[in-house]
Each structure stands twice: as structure tokens, then as C-alpha cells.
Structure 1
Amino acid sequence: MLKSLSPNKMINSEPACGRKATCERLKQNRHMKKIVYLICLISLISCNSEDAGDCFQTAGDIIQQEIDVPIFSRILVQKKVELIISEGPVQKVIVETGKNLMPDIEIQVIDNQIILENHNTCNIVRDYGLTKVYITSPNITEIRNASELNVTSNGILTFPSLYLRSTGEKAKFLGVGDWHLTIENENVVIWSNGISTFFINGTTTNLNISFTDGDTRFEGENFIAQNVKVSQVSSNDILINPIQSLKGSIHSVGNVISFNTPPIVEVDVQSKGELIFK
């Protein structure tokens, strides 16, 4: 007669060859883990290099490098670049970014326009917005911000006429970066069709604002202008402080809000947006 085995005896009755195979698998797993750890370590070390691929490249130490370029009076800021603009008697261009990122920063002057480009396109393992360009110039006439980052003035800008542009054109140029400027001059012209916000302080004689689309906004309560012209097609508001005249038109739901009532007011309201005096 056959005797039935107890459950414990059945469990413990695994052949020696089975236990050996299990041990071998455990050893193999441990070896694989060591290999994976080693690969990860090597990858992390190699990422801290200017030769690593964009996505896994670390920035390295933040450094500054002065760039020698021909004379220019116009600026184009491309993606992933922040601009800090100062007025001074001598032209100077300084790039600040990570040591590993510096080789992929391109600065060139074409037709009197300096073009600031950052070819470091992927940043999985590093912080965002590390690349800044500091420009000092005796005279700038135009700044186009095609970046998602800010344009900021360091001190007061007295360039006689200044054209500020933030217009999106598909994927080539962005219209989203904000502006923080203090200006004291004769003429300021602004054109925007995206979602940029202009924070402008100071004084000017003539201010011309053309918002042709989008949700762009102008914060100019503390920007005193003798004469203001507006073309309002944005869904956001234009805040202004005109002294002598306010002219223009409103073609969208965005308002024109004036913090002074000048003697001359000629604004054609053609949509739901309102002309509001405060």
C-alpha cells in the first residue's frame, strides 16, 4: 500500500538539482543588478560632459563668456534664451550658461541684427532657463522676443526710438515671452499677436501699440506717454497713461484702460471691448 506524504514532506522533497538551479538564477540576478548599476553610473558620469546627448546632458558649472561681434542695433532673441539689456557707451555681449551647454550657443550678426540662438533643445536632467545673454549697447532700435523667456532691462533705456516685437509665426518664432522694461525716450512702437505681457515703466513722447491677435497684454499704468495710439484686437487689456492724446480702435473683447483723460480722445469702439477711464 502506498502512503500519502504530508504537505511539508512534499515541499521539502524538491530535488537537489532544482535547488541548485534556483541558486544559480539568484546569482545571475545579482550579477545583472550589478551590471545595471554600473551602466547607470557610467551614464551619469558621461552626462556631465559637453559631448553627452542633449536630453541627458547636465549643464555643468554656470559660466560667462564675452562674445566679440560686429556693431548692431537690432536684436532677435530665439527660443530658450533670456535677454538682459543695458544702455552703455561701449557695445558688449556676454553669454551666461552651463559649461557643457556653451558650445551649442550661437551668436551672430546679420544685416545689423544680432541673433541669439540656443541649440540645446532637450533638458530632461537639467534646470530650465539657464541661458542668459547680457547686452550693453549705446543704441538699440529694435528688439524681437521670439523666446518663451523674458526680456528685461537693467537700468533705464533712453534709446530714442524703440520697436518691441513679440509676434508668433508657427513654430519658427514664439510670441509668448514677457517684457520688463524701464524706458525714457521719444518713440515706442509695440507689435504683438501672442500671449506676451509687456510690463513697461517710464516716459515717452509717442506710444504706438498694435495688438493684432491673441491674448497679449500691456501693463503701462506707470508708463507716461504724451500721445498714444492703440489698435486693440487682443482678448486681453491695454493699460495706458496718456497725457495729450489717445487715438485708435478696439476690435475685440479686450479693453483699453486709461489712467488719465487727455484733452484729445478719438477711439473707435467696434466690438465688445470697452474704453475705460480711471
Structure 2
Amino acid sequence: MKKLFYIAFAFCLILSGCNNEDSWDCLKSLGDDASEIRYPGNFNQIFLTDKVDMDYRYSDSCYVEVFFGENIIHHIQTRVDGNSLFIANTATCNWVRTLKKIPLVVVYAPTLAYLENTSSATITMRDTLVSHDFLYEQRGSNGNAHLLLKTDSARVYVHTGYTGIYVSGRSTYSGLYNASVGKLDASLLNSDITIVNNSSLQDLPCVANSYLFGEINLSGNILYSGDPENIDTSINGSGRVLPH
């Protein structure tokens, strides 16, 4: 009798923990692999949260393709509000399912102006993101982000988190800021004018072809390549601005 009581108690506990999910969804497995193409509306900004992988690919129009288990794929949110796409996993019972599979959202768009990453997964860019002005901001995330850019102005601001961020491509102007535990590596971003604020313990590699401004506030170095004609610095920590 006690065994039945404990089973019933555990069953009720599982159902009560599924606030945003249909309670019976908590009892479902992920199911077979599935994909959905969705047309949420036009966007040029993305807000990425939860453990959802994202890949950018170029297209003349805006749409997304979602990959996940067929029983839970409807809980991967891809919602447009204004000109912003919000990507999230709204399922609340992931703790009773396998963690081996991570949902993937492939984003198709002509360009992006802004990407905010608070997720705990991986960002990739299969195609080069061509943009006049692009800003990436990270807050409290972990995982990896690989940004492939062709821009007039590229700004990568890493406020907090553990994510390793790797930026490559070409930009006339680059603004780089790292105050996180993770690494920001822009050694493959060919940039003419580069403004760097390294407020991290990590070294920050970058490229500056004509001008470099380097601010250091902790022990992380700024390692630059290229042959800038002018270099200005503001050193407030033990790190140094060094050729690399």
C-alpha cells in the first residue's frame, strides 16, 4: 500500500511541476526527430534564451526551421514582436527527459542588426552575416558562439557568462568588450579601426589595420595583429597591449 502511495505522490509531483506545459506532456518522451518550417514574421533582431542551439543562414525572406523531438517541438517558441524574434524553450518538464538532444532553430533572414544571447547552447553562422551595423550582446550564458561577419560596424559586448565567442570575417570598425569569465577571440576578424575594452582575466586577440584603442581593467592582455599606424591605451590593470 505504501508503495502505491509513493508512486502516486511522485506522479502528482511530476504533473504539478509542469506549469507552462500541458501536464500530460510531462509523461511524453521527446519522440522521433522532427522539423517544422515556420513563418513568424519579419525581423532583424534576435533574443535567444534557454538551451536552444541557433544557426544563421542567408535568405531573401525571414523564416525559421525548428528541429527537435516530435512530441515537444511545439514548446520551442519562435515568436516575432515588432522587429524582434524571440527564441525560447517553454517546456518545463525537461528534467524528466533525456538531455542528450538539444533543440536547434535555423534562422533564415537577409540580415541582422542585433543578437542577444542569454542561452546555454551554441550559436553558429553557416552563411556570412552581411550588415551595416551589427551588435552582439551576451548576458549570463554559457556554450559557444561563432560569428561570421561582413559589416561596416561590428560590436561584440560580452557582459557576463562563460561562453567562448569566436568572431571572424571583415569589418571596417570593430568594438570589442569582454567582462565575462569566458573568452572573446576576434583574431580572425579583419578590422581597420578596433576599439577594445578587456575587463576580463582572459586574453583578447584582435586585428587592427589602421587604429587600435585598448583599455585594460584586469589581468587579461589585448593581443593584436595587423600593423596599426596609431595605438592609444588606457591601462588600469596588470594586463598589457601586445603585438601577436
TM-score (norm 2): 0.85
Where in structure 2 are there 5+ consecutive unaligned residues? 8-21
Q: Which residue of 2 aligns with 1:228?
A: 194
Q: Which residue of 2 aligns with 1:254?
A: 220
Q: Alpha-carbon deviations, 1:224-247, whole Å to 9, x = none?
A: 101100111111121101101101
Q: Does structure 1 residue 203 correspond to structure 2 residue 170?
A: yes
Q: Is the 8 A contact 1:225 1:241 kept in 2?
A: yes
Cα drift, residue 53 of structure 1: 4.9
Distance 1:101 1:125 in 2: 10
Structure 1 pair 129–76 and aligned structure 2 pair: CA distance change class (3 A)? farther
Aligned residues: 227
Q: Alpha-carbon deviations, 1:166-200, whole Å to 9, x = none?
A: 113xxxxxx22321122122111111122222111
Bigger radius of gyration: 1
Q: Does structure 1 residue 76 correspond to structure 2 residue 47?
A: yes
Please state whether the residue corresponding to 1:103 is helix, strand or coil. Answer: helix
Q: Give the aligned CA root-mean-square deviation in angstroms.
A: 2.4
> Which structure has more strand as a fraction of its residues?
2
Relative contact order (alpha carbons < 8 A, sep ≥ 6): 1 or 2 greater? Answer: 2
Cα drift, residue 118 of structure 1: 0.4
Aligned pair partner of 2:203 in 212, 215, 237: 237
> Which structure has more helix as a fraction of its residues?
1
Amino acid at match of 1:66: I
Distance 1:136 1:60 in 2: 26
Cα drift, residue 128 of structure 1: 3.4
Q: Which residue of 2 aligns with 1:92?
A: 63
Cα drift, residue 92 of structure 1: 1.6
Q: Is the 8 A contact 1:57 1:123 kept in 2?
A: no
Distance 1:195 1:129 in 2: 21
Q: Which residue of 1 aligns with 2:116?
A: 144
Cα drift, residue 216 of structure 1: 2.8
Amino acid at match of 2:110: P
Map 1:93-242 → 2, pairs under 5 A: 93-121=64-92, 122-168=94-140, 175-193=141-159, 194-211=161-178, 213-242=179-208
Aligned-residue identity in percent = 17
Q: Which residue of 2 aligns with 1:45?
A: none
TM-score (norm 1): 0.75
Where in structure 1 are there 5+ consecutive unaligned residues? 1-31, 37-49, 169-174
Please state whether the residue corresponding to 2:74 is helix, strand or coil. Answer: helix
